[in-house]
Amino acid sequence: MEYTSLIIQCEVTMCGIFGTVLKQGKAVELITDGLKRLEYRGYDSIGVAMIDNGELHLRKDMGKLEEVIENLNINEMNGLVGMGHTRWATHGAPNMINAHPHLDGSGQIALVHNGVIENFMELKDELIEKDHNFVSRTDTEVIPHLIQEEMKADVGLKDAILRVLRRLKGSYAIVVVTSLEPDKIYCARHESPLVLGVSGEGTYCASDVPAMLPYTNKVNYLRNGELAVLDVDGYQIMKISDGSYVERGLEEITWSLEMAEKQGYQHYMLKEITEQPTSLRDGLRLQEQYIDLITQFLDRGKEVLLTAAGTSYHSCLAASYIFSKIARLTTYPVVSSEFIERYGSTVGIDSIVLTVSQSGETYDTLKAIDHARMKAATVLGITNTVGSTLTRVSRAYIVQQSGPEIGVAATKTFTSQVLVFAQLAMRLAKMRGKLSQDELDEFDENLHRVPDMVEEALARNDDRIKELAEKLKDDKLFLFLGRGISAATALEGRLKVLEITYVPSLAYPAGESKHGPISIVEDGVACIFICPRGDTHSHIIGSIMEMKARGAKIISICEEGDNDIIRLSDEVIEMPIGIPETLSPIPYIVPLQLLSYRLAVMKGLDPDMPRNLAKSVTVP
Ligand code: M6R
């Protein structure tokens, strides 16, 4: 069927890479050790390519790192030059064929890749025309074939690689090992991380510092648009655009190994909050055909139910506003543990159940969709985990491209889920003719500004949030309030504070507060208002005044220079100007994630592992 082939058409990866050129010893042992230190980046298969006596040798398979290393006797491979790759597929089933490294047609050029080649289909078609055969479903495999093709024009390897890199659209960190130049490694990056290192023993490249930290603490972070050539004495860096050489000194890393695994951050949660500009940029690189496919299902359904748990449910709630405002589609968000009781008797063949789960393994969510499938509903998924149960049971799914999230509190996965929903709503609006071309263009432009907005929100508020957390660290109660889509932001902010600081907190649509919650407000109670500019702005001012009149401490998150809000507030977190309300949950949740993190740390709690909670709740 049409959708099945689409699901498996493109393999995209979030992975770990390690390469080395050594003076003596067994490079493969450093490579497998380096890969183990990169396991946090996710893994479903691994592969290693070595140059031994001038020949290229390759071993790879799917499975757990330790098992594959042992089963394939990888540590017995010889050679001083080699590279390895641990892969975490974000589309399609992991298997041996799709595992990296990938080879060119001659079997002389091996390449590993972390990232997404957006134009791989057109490049592949072009190569097929020239009689190249492909064995995998990956976007990556086109790259070694392109290098092979370029070399036919009688240019050297370096120039062939430069020419190919100039043609790639998307993101990549690549490493090339080849018997054509058996003493060297070529590596390059564009928007996926790659770091170089040198020691007296050799030269290294890796996705991240921890992989090489046992061998050197002298590193050079490759920048976007740079190619590096490594040999046993060091490296040379050049710009991909014009081949000119780049001089940049080494940096000394002072982190411990444990700190390095968190890239110098004290906790995974802070690392993951800070990663959001990148995860959001990745979330904007979804393959068009997946968006189209899910949108077609949404368009056809008689009713659209959105189901999920915890943070993923909050993204569904935000989505219900986005679908309504942008695509004029009514959707029904429901927490998955309530799905069967609430809609179990009415869900049926005409229902679309769009299910969201970071892990793809949440018991309540899987139970809900089991029921929906039994009733012949169409189950669609949004997840961060390829190969999870959700991807197996969904008719079609989108992988949100957030990268592994290790902290128990969901942060970057929330913002990416909302971003995926916004893209679906935009596509549906276009399909249904609900927005003019100008409106669509404007929405698209705003969507693409979101990662920068988040970057700015993070940069400008770090110190401000620390200061605020200091003031709030002994508060015994928080009330989170927002109108419209900001009610979802309020709920998610509340969940963050609640789950990692254990401070009792409430969240309500602000208009609802006068129907009950206002009775708990007295002098000094902290009320956190989420106030983006937009349709709800004037209403939220009324809600703030109600709480202020009862002595509440008003903490507002609003646009920079929003004096209507600022003059009513005791504390303000100012956000970049120009975020449309429909997209506001993405940047506006960021200060609340940071605030909850700072509060937890000030209380001496471990935000990565809050009590009684698990990253994935797989029990009833
Ligand atoms: O993996 P899922 O998205 O299905 O997980 C759902 C919830 O368990 C999860 O969002 C949980 O609420 C988080 N700890 C929130 O930070």
Residues 513-538: tens digit of each pLDDT: 989 989 999 999 999 999 999 999 99
Is 15 marked active-site? Answer: yes
* pLDDT in the model for residue 392: 83
* pLDDT in the model for residue 259: 64
Of the two residues 610 and 241, the one the predictor is more confident about is: 241
Q: Which fold has domain 16-247?
A: Glutamine Phosphoribosylpyrophosphate, subunit 1, domain 1 (3.60.20)
Ligand 1 centroid to 616 CA: how many Å?
Answer: 7
* pLDDT in the model for residue 286: 86
Residue 209 — very low, low, confident or very high, per pLDDT cuts 50/70/90? confident
Angle at 19 between CA 17 and CA 20, to 5 degrees: 160
Residue 260 — very low, low, confident or very high, per pLDDT cuts 50/70/90? low
469-473's contacts with Cβ under 8 Å and 24+ in sequence apart are: 469/595, 469/598, 469/599, 469/602, 470/602, 471/571, 472/526, 472/555, 472/595, 472/599, 473/599, 473/602, 473/603
Q: What is the mean pLDDT of the chain?
A: 92
pLDDT for 375-434, tens place per residue?
Answer: 999 999 999 877 678 988 999 999 998 887 889 999 999 999 999 999 999 999 999 999
- Cα–Cα dist 274/350, whole Å: 41
In 3-state terms, what secondary structure has residue 250? coil
CA-closest residue to ligand 1 atom 7: 310
Beta-bridge mates of residue 89 = 13
Of the two residues 259 and 441, the one the predictor is more confident about is: 441
* pLDDT in the model for residue 11: 35
Ligand 1 centroid to 357 CA: how many Å?
Answer: 7
Atom of ligand 1 nearest to the CA of 613: 14
Our answer on whether the CB atom of 358 is closer than 6 Å to any ligand 1 atom is yes
Ligand 1 centroid to 583 CA: how many Å?
Answer: 21
CA-closest residue to ligand 1 atom 8: 310
Is pLDDT above 60 for 311?
yes
Interhelix angle for 120-129 vs 142-151, to 10°? 50
pLDDT for 93-136, tens place per residue?
Answer: 678 999 999 999 999 999 999 888 989 999 999 999 999 999 99
Going from N- to C-terminal start, the domains of the chain cover 16-247, 277-602
Report the relative pairing of strands 170-178 and 185-190 from DSSP bridges. antiparallel
State which amino acid sits at residue 226.
E
Most informative mutation of 362, 369, 398 for ligand 1 (most atoms within 8 A of CB): 362
* pLDDT in the model for residue 5: 29
Q: What is the mean pLDDT of residues 72-76?
A: 97
Of 533, 461, 527, the residue nearest 494 (C-alpha): 527
Angle at 28 between CA 265 and CA 159, to 5 degrees: 85
Please tell me if the domain spanning 16-247 has the same topology as the one spanning 277-602.
no
Ligand 1 centroid to 615 CA: how many Å?
Answer: 7
* Residue 49: Cβ-neighbour burial (10 angstroms; 0-12, 13-18, 19+): buried
Residue 191 — very low, low, confident or very high, per pLDDT cuts 50/70/90? confident
Is pLDDT above 80 for 256?
no
Is 184 marked active-site? Answer: no
Q: What is the CATH number of domain 277-602?
A: 3.40.50.10490
Residue 87 — very low, low, confident or very high, per pLDDT cuts 50/70/90? confident
Our answer on whether the CB atom of 311 is closer than 6 Å to any ligand 1 atom is yes
Residue 361 — very low, low, confident or very high, per pLDDT cuts 50/70/90? confident
